[in-house]
Chain A
């Protein structure tokens, strides 16, 4: 594969991004171009439309913005587009692992440049560190349709690919929800928990999505920022798990009637799955132990205990 090092006019280089895989909106602009010019030559492909960039999009952008008329470049000759897109990917990989937006772009560019599904499975996916998996593939494709802010979050690993895909089901509300994630500083696990619950509440209650967004927005407006997430989850769980919520409410009500000191903890198993409660308390003297024991005996004699035992 002959690659020729030459100087080319920046006017000859087309703005087309047929081979662009890199995506990192948070990367700072290239420095030192004004003083030293472009030190590392971009790789270009000669095509009918002019010179297409294979690698070095930032370098060419920097050259243009600093008014450089020409740059050193490596110009490929005799490569077809299939080979060129592979070259572009290998060059990008030499700089480090791809993020999910770049993986999505790589799949898209390979397809558009003539790679068949079987070839993608055998040649591309191992390079991307993935196995051929149609679920991941659809998630990657969907990512490319998402707003740039969402893509940026995924690229920065501030949002899972899975979450971005779930977010796409919210149509016109995508940007609003993504904005909530940012404002509330929700990490990837909380984003996922929230979106899963929102989806399930809409399905279970046959609620129009906009109505649920309205409910959540109302909560958001009425709560300090640090409480919004917990209030949302509480509300969503009450809609998603009505019987469990009712059991938890009954438990808390009955427990309150025992007037147990704060040091005595009375706990059901998660989701009341086990048929027993646990009680725990710290003590450091005989008197303290006797005091708590008396309180527990009072609880054992109380009719409220039946209500709590019924729950398990």
Chain B
């Protein structure tokens, strides 16, 4: 796949000396750089067609003013929460998935990176040490692709060592790319999980533009696993289409042909869901997308998703295929109701607490089960 390269870089002068800023600018010597003072000025500087497509080509390096670490906002009150934490060091994604919520969620179209990473690490260190009994499963892929810009920012080289050896924290780098070179240049550790969102080739080729292909993702995951990282896979969003059963079964089998269950930290399964506002955006930006034409109805939380029997059928079959290859992998449903958990797993977790504890227990066991992989010599 082709890695991200902006047409222009906008720099907040207050971060011009931050290491990440310098790192990015060194890697883009022939890309124009503009310094701006505030957001209004930024919007004025970029007076062109501020569409999402154009906006993504503008990289903004700035400072994050608030808290980096937050509870995951993915689940509403009617969904089972897995007590995940998110860290936002970048907003927006250069990949073009037709179903991406960011298209209707963000209030400006630029690719923004918050480069004050030392502040982020201080905040995390403080949170982890103030709550030693709590397990922090932390993801960075909520509002961006965790590794999408890593060839420019090198943020993974800060985060991975920071998490290494901690007793109560795990970092999940969730991606649809194969941008893993930085990860292979540093020592792996058991606190870092490199995760891929994967889908069938039919869905991926039609609905996930600019992402790595399934083959590229699995090859990258293999290299990470060989380097000592644990890997994870998210079958999300599952799409219901004519050949879904055969294709998703092949996807699961292909995965377990390449990875042992010990190498896989967790697997999640979820299905297409979106806000009303996204429907118009998808129709506009991706008129040939088939994604809106499943039997999609409005759920209790106002989002659109497949009619429940379809979701239950898809999840149940996926779990069946996964279990036929791995009896003990950690598998969960993402953003689903208690009722659907009951139908699929014969288990009704509480809305908050049970699923988080289940995940934490499994994470804690594996944090300590193997020594970290040594760092390779640079250039090897």
Contact = CB atoms under 8 A, between A and B. Distances in A.
A203 interface: yes
A40 B297 CA distance: 57
A202 to B, nearest CB: 10
Nearest to B292: A200
B49 A274 contact: no
Given A135-B284, A272-B308, A273-B300, A244 B295 contact: yes
B307 A243 contact: yes
A122 interface: yes
B: interface residue count bin: 20 to 34
A271 B292 contact: no
B293 A203 contact: yes
B307 A241 contact: yes
A131 B299 CA distance: 31
B295 A243 contact: yes
A203 B291 CA distance: 11
Given A132-B49, A134-B49, A244-B295, A269 B300 contact: yes
Contacts of B298: 270-271
B49 A271 contact: no
Which of A117, A244, A271 neighbours the largest number of chain B CB atoms within 10 Å of its CB? Answer: A271
Contacts of B310: 243
Contacts of B299: 271, 273
A242 interface: yes
A121 B297 contact: no
Interface in B305-347: 307-310, 337, 339, 342
Contact of B295 (A122, A242, A270): A242
Given A121-B50, A134-B49, A200-B293, A244 B307 contact: yes
B221 to A, nearest CB: 35
A131 B48 CA distance: 12
A271 B297 CA distance: 7
A284 interface: no
A263 interface: no
B47 A121 contact: yes
B38 interface: no
Contacts of B51: 133-134
A118 B47 contact: yes
B215 interface: no
Nearest to B44: A122
Given A200-B293, A273-B299, A275-B339, A135 B280 contact: yes
Contact of B50 (A132, A135, A138): A132
A241 B307 CA distance: 9
Interface string A242-254: 1110010000000
B300 A274 contact: yes
B3 to A, nearest CB: 26
A277 interface: no
Interface string A94-122: 00000000000000000000000110011
Interface string B265-308: 00000000000000011001000001011010111100000011
A275 B309 CA distance: 11
A204 B292 CA distance: 9
Top 3 nearest A-B pairs by Cβ distance? A275-B339, A271-B297, A135-B284
Interface of A: 117-118, 121-122, 131-135, 138, 162, 200, 203-204, 240-244, 247, 269-275
16 contacts: A118-B48, A121-B47, A121-B49, A122-B47, A135-B280, A138-B284, A200-B292, A200-B293, A240-B295, A244-B307, A269-B300, A271-B298, A271-B299, A272-B307, A273-B297, A273-B299
